[in-house]
Amino acid sequence: MSLNRLQKIISETGIFSRRKADLLIKQGRVTLNGRQAFLGEKADPASDQILVDGKDLPKKVNDKVFLVNKPRGIISSCQDNHGRKTILNLIPAHLRLGMHPVGRLDFDSRGAILLTNNGDLTLKLTHPRYSHTKTYQVWVSGQPNQSKLDNWRRGILLDGKMTMPARIEILDKVNRKTLLKVILKEGRNRQIRRIATLIGHPVEDLQRTSISNINLDGLQEGKWRELKTKEWISIIN
């Protein structure tokens, strides 16, 4: 008998993310052996009957992870109510089933974003407790002094909560602009842009260059490639 949490079993089908699986259980849409399931409950998919909305749980599909170099003007979600192009539109239609973006890059930002059907990978790359880094190259206006950068490094108050410590390095200074290398272990909504504005040096260009140990490595903007298992498996183990 192999027992796992229900939300893990559901997300491993590749149809639902771990967050979506949590929500399905909370909404009472999951039954285990004929009764309503509850969050945190464990089951064995080989012997227990698990239904979502009254239907058998789909069989697990092969894990897939795609690295995409997102251009500006692309929405980092599976669909958009305003008909704008989404990150899924950058991969062939026959590969999109069950795929979802791992985290987000805002509309005006570009760079590395992952698409996957693996719920564990999504959880461990998006939850701060796993401390996976994301690296950015950021052009800001002006030339921030060391005092401002040190404040950013220590943490900035956003929405009533301090940000986690960040690594900030000056890479270049050109025509009243500064290129920063920023390494974060969290990803709040528009975090870099908001902090840069708070210290008086708004972002002019933002590119994410790596997610944990996964780098763009010359992948052209607007292009994608499927990652080999050995490239991402260490993140979830």
Domains 65-128+214-236 and 133-211 alike in fold: yes
Q: How far, in Å, CA of 98 to CA of 17, rounded?
A: 9
Catalytic residues: 106
Tokens 């760079």 appear where? 111
Average pLDDT over residues 108-126: 88
Sequence spans of domains, the chain? 4-56, 65-128+214-236, 133-211
Q: With contact defined as beta carbons under 8 Å apart, do 16 and 119 qualify?
A: yes
Average pLDDT over residues 170-179: 96
Report the pLDDT value the prediction gives residue 59, as an integer from 0 to 100: 65
CATH fold of 4-56, please? 3.10.290
Tokens 């590969």 appear where? 95
Average pLDDT over residues 61-73: 91
What whole-number percentage of the chain has pLDDT above 70? 97
Give the Å distances, CA to CA, from 34 to 1, 5, 37, 51, 56. 19, 17, 9, 8, 12
Helix axes 119-126, 229-236, angle to 10 degrees: 60
Tokens of 67: 């690295």
Average pLDDT over residues 176-195: 95
Q: How far, in Å, CA of 99 to CA of 212, rounded?
A: 20
Does this model's pTM top 0.85? no
CATH fold of 133-211, please? Alpha-Beta Plaits (3.30.70)
Q: Which CATH architecture has domain 65-128+214-236?
A: 2-Layer Sandwich (3.30)
Report the pLDDT value the prediction gives residue 237, as an integer from 0 to 100: 64
pLDDT tens for residues 198-230?
999 999 999 999 999 999 999 999 999 999 988
